[in-house]
């Protein structure tokens, strides 16, 4: 029952987001054609009133707003997000073609930076005030504070060009033919190393710091003292008692940073010419491809809502107190 309620709740959020996505451009003054047809505008060529009406009718913009809203919603249900002006293809198709690369990149770096940040944060908290803690704190914070594009460029220079260990652009070698499927997988992973490393380094600081603080708080709790009073070993207490409690805020934070992670890929994908959503977004802004932009924003918000849903589900499993509320 609880799960169903939650689904309804998330469905409502999605509906609101879709509506905002629809109304936001429409509350602006004018319409997409007004700059071409305004009689007062200083333009070399001007659209005639008949032509303008024809185009508005073609795009359905002459219909009442409620009708437009319904057809927009119906379109989305059918997977129709409109037509990309720059790519000359359906927006959905363009996005889906790029999505897998971003999922691979963001997925890989999240799968590395979250567990690694948790591990290092817990280690640091456990050794609070000792050399190990100070060393970790200083080194992680200093490398994480590099802007990701700068870090990416450094990696390109050292590992891509100087040492020539990794390819520096694209997601796979162009026009390559592979003798086996493993060859292809290796090629893709080879291309993934540098951009994924950049993302891991630029995001690990947040996870590490939060985990360290969360763990320090938990280690001061009375139930940790109870566990010690039972004669349990420090290792056991760390794993069985402290870690679970300290992880709770991490789950929330990881879900909340999904948006930032996708934003982060804009820089990283641009530096490495990685054909993902971030790169696509950058081009869409550059070429003012509004339908494509809208489509990407829609996907991003869906990703964020989805991540929150997953976090909600995990949280209930981790913290029994949430279940009954």
Partner 1 sequence: MTLLEISDLKTHFPTQSGIVRAVDTIDLSIRERETFGLIGETGCGKTVLGLTLMRLLHPTTTVEGTIRYRGKNLLTISEAEMRLIRGEEIAMILQNPTTSLNPVMRVGEQIAEAIRLHQGLRRRAAKEKAVEMLDSVRIPAASRRANEYPHEFSGGMKQRAMIAMGLACDPALIIADEPTKGLDVTIKAQITELIKETAKEKAMLLITHDLGVARALCDRIALMYAGELVEYAATEEIFENPLHPYTRGFLGSLPGNGLVPIPGMSPSLIDLPDGCRFHPRCSHAKAVCRKKHPELIEVEAGHFVRCFDA
Helix axes 181-219, 91-126, angle to 10 degrees: 40
Helices (H) and strands (E) in the chain, counts: 15, 2
Task: Write down the least CB distance from residue 247 to partner 1, Å.
Answer: 9
Q: How far apart are CA 178 and CA 270, in angstroms?
A: 26
Rounded to the nearest whole angstrom, what is the least distance from the CB of residue 26 to partner 1 in the complex?
48
CB of 104 to partner 1, least distance (A): 33
| Dist. CA 305–CA 299, nearest whole Å | 10
Instruction: Give me the least distance between CB of 134 and partner 1, in Å please.
Output: 17
Angle at 256 between CA 255 and CA 260, to 5 degrees: 110
How big is the chain, counted in residues? 325
Q: Which is nearer to partner 1, 181 or 320 (CB)?
A: 320
- How many CB atoms are located within 10 Å of the residue 180 CB? 8
SS3 readout for 50-71: HHHHHHHHHCCCCCCHHHHHHH
For residues 26 and 16, give the distance between their C-alpha atoms in angstroms, rounded to a whole number: 15
Choice between 64 and 320, CB closer to partner 1: 320
Cα–Cα distance measured from residue 309 to residue 325, given in angstroms and rounded to the nearest whole number: 17
CB nearer partner 1, residue 109 or residue 254: 254
With H, G, I as helix, E, B as strand and everything else as coil, classify residue 131.
Answer: helix
Minimum separation from the CB atom of position 256 to partner 1 (A): 21
Write down the residue that tokens 């999904």 correspond to: 258
Q: Minimal distance in Å, beta carbon 322 to partner 1?
A: 10
**Strand, helix or coil for residue 146:** coil
**What minimum distance in Å lies between the beta carbon of 252 and partner 1?**
15
Residues forming the site for partner 1 (CB under 8 A): 221-223, 225-233, 236, 240-241, 244-245, 318-321, 324
The span from the CA of 73 to the CA of 77, in Å, is 6
């Amino acid at each position: 029952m609880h799960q169903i309620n939650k689904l309804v709740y998330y469905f409502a959020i999605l509906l609101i987001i879709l509506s905002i996505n629809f109304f936001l451009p429409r509350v602006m003054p004018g319409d997409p054609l007004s700059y071409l047809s305004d009689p007062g505008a200083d333009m070399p060529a001007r659209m005639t009133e008949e032509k303008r009406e024809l185009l508005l009718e073609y795009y359905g913009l002459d219909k009442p707003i409620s009708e437009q809203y319904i057809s927009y919603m119906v379109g989305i249900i059918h997977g129709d997000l409109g037509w990309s002006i720059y790519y000359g293809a359906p927006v959905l198709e363009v996005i889906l073609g790029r999505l897998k690369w971003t999922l691979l990149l963001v997925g890989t770096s999240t799968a590395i930076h979250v567990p690694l940040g948790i591990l290092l944060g817990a280690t640091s908290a456990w050794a609070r005030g000792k050399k190990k803690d100070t060393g970790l704190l200083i080194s992680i914070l200093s490398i994480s504070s590099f802007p990701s594009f700068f870090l990416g460029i450094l990696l390109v220079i050292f590992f891509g060009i100087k040492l020539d260990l990794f390819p520096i652009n694209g997601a796979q070698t162009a026009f390559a033919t592979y003798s086996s499927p493993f060859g292809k997988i290796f090629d893709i992973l080879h291309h993934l190393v540098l951009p994924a490393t950049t993302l891991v380094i630029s995001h690990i600081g947040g996870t590490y710091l939060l985990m360290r603080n969360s763990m320090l708080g938990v280690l001061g709790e009375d139930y940790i003292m109870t566990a010690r009073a039972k004669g349990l070993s420090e290792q056991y207490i760390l794993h069985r008692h402290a870690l679970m409690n300290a992880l709770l805020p991490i789950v929330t934070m990881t879900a909340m940073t999904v948006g930032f992670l996708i934003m982060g890929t804009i820089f990283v994908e641009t530096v490495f010419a990685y054909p993902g959503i971030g790169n696509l977004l950058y081009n869409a802004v550059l070429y003012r491809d509004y339908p494509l932009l809208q489509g990407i924003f829609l996907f991003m918000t869906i990703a964020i809502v989805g991540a929150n849903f997953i976090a909600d589900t995990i949280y209930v499993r981790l913290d029994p107190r949430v279940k009954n509320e």
